[in-house]
Copies of this chain bind each other. A is one copy, B any other.
């Protein structure tokens, strides 16, 4: 059901402090902790002695101590101590998952540890460049299949209907958007242009546009479950679109970057890690705060829709669905995921999934 040999966002680095931290990923109970040296490790959240979640324990010098009877496990999942100095029984270990901290994320590899290739972790340098891209991040728990969140991001025509009051604006603007979709080495990318259009409320609030704008959304899906966006606008007529390149200076305008990492919790729930970084008014903390708040309102709207959609899909698993004109990118993203799933199932001994290394 899930592609396992891939990197998923497990947490924001600032979620992992002094106490162990539990999260369910791909329907497995996992405990994350930062060992005495500050290195993050991820273990099965179930003591091999009596099945108690290790998240009730505490971090000690040798590793993570179970909060029930005191067994200690190191970051590789090996039991290194039974209280009283008694024999550590053979087989006393819990599963360990490869993890890596990068760009404010803790990424986790859910498949065969031997196939974990750290060079395939996505680059997202904007999180580490607060001078040009100050950002704020959070995580939502969504009661829906993670693919419904991907679907949502791959069809932005919903902005006029779901987000009219924030980032959307008038539906007609979206209906008339110019779309250009391409396949990348591993995923799908589409550019969307709304030239000479009326700015939506969030843009006016953020950048003070007074007239019409040339507005873009560049969206790229990186399998297995990341979508990154560069979104912005300049005053209409700043340039012109030719062969899907905007000939004109976009640097002076208003733009922001959205990161979306969607990690399955179960088949019908997921964690939605998102950040927004403003490429304007970088010296004003209030600009970042304001954009974050508008984005949160926007994603709250998505959450309501997607969770209701999930309920209907569960009720009518075989109900007919039709495709319409705007479904191209969404369908292509689904095809990528379906192909990866099929490959993984067909060839358990195959190569790791190739994940494009840079969104920067």
Contact = CB atoms under 8 A, between A and B. Distances in A.
B86 A321 contact: no
Contact of A70 (B84, B160, B308): B160
A42 to B, nearest CB: 16
Interface string A300-313: 00001100110111
A46 interface: yes
A315 B29 contact: yes
Determine how many copies of this chain the complex contains. 3
A324 B49 CA distance: 7
A312 B66 CA distance: 14
Given A89-B322, A158-B69, A308 B52 contact: yes
Interface in A28-75: 29, 45-46, 48-53, 55-57, 65-71
A360 interface: no
A56 B305 contact: yes
Contact of A157 (B67, B83, B85, B313): B83
A161 B58 CA distance: 10
A92 interface: yes
A312 B52 contact: yes
A309 B68 contact: yes
22 contacts: A29-B315, A48-B320, A49-B324, A51-B316, A51-B319, A52-B308, A52-B312, A53-B308, A53-B311, A56-B304, A56-B308, A68-B161, A68-B309, A69-B158, A69-B161, A70-B160, A83-B160, A83-B171, A84-B176, A86-B325, A87-B325, A89-B324
Given A50-B151, A69-B157, 4 more contacts: A46-B319, A49-B324, A53-B312, A71-B324
